[in-house]
Amino acid sequence: MAQALNRALHDEMATDDRVLVFGEDVGRLGGVFRVTDKLQDGFGQERCFDTPLAESAILGTSLGLALYGFKPVPEIQFDGFAYPAFEQLVSHIAKYRNRSRGTVTIPVTVRIPYGGGIGAVEHHSESPETYWVHTAGLKVVTPSTPSDAYTMLRQSIQHPDPVVFLEPKRRYWMKEDCELPVDDPRPLHQAVVRHQGSDVTLVAYGPMVRTATEAAGAAADELDASVEVVDLRSLNPLDERSIVASVRKTGRCVVVHEAAMTLGMGAEIAARVQEMAFYHLEAPVLRVTGFDTPYPPAKLELFWLPDVDRILDIVDQSLSF
The catalytic site residues sit at 124
Q: How many angstroms separate the Cα of 252 from the Cα of each of 143, 190, 267?
A: 24, 21, 15
Pairing of strands 227-231, 200-204: parallel
Question: Given its phi and psi angles, is residue 28 left (phi above 0), alpha (psi -120 to 50 degrees) or beta?
Answer: alpha
CB 138 within 8 A of CB 114: no
Neighbour tally for 165: CB within 10 Å = 24
The neighbouring-strand residues paired with 203 are 230, 255
Burial group, residue 208, by CB count within 10 angstroms (0-12, 13-18, 19+): buried
The Cα–Cα gap between 240 and 304 comes to: 28
Angle separating helix axes 208-222 and 308-320, nearest 10 degrees: 60
For strands 286-290 and 253-260, give the pairing. parallel
Mapped onto helix, strand or coil, the DSSP state of residue 27 is: coil
CA–CA distance, 233 with 206 (Å, rounded to integer): 7
CA 235, CA 231: separation in Å to the nearest integer? 10
Q: Which positions ≥6 away from 174 have C-beta within 8 Å?
A: 1, 145, 146, 210
Q: Are 30 and 3 in contact (CB under 8 A)?
A: no
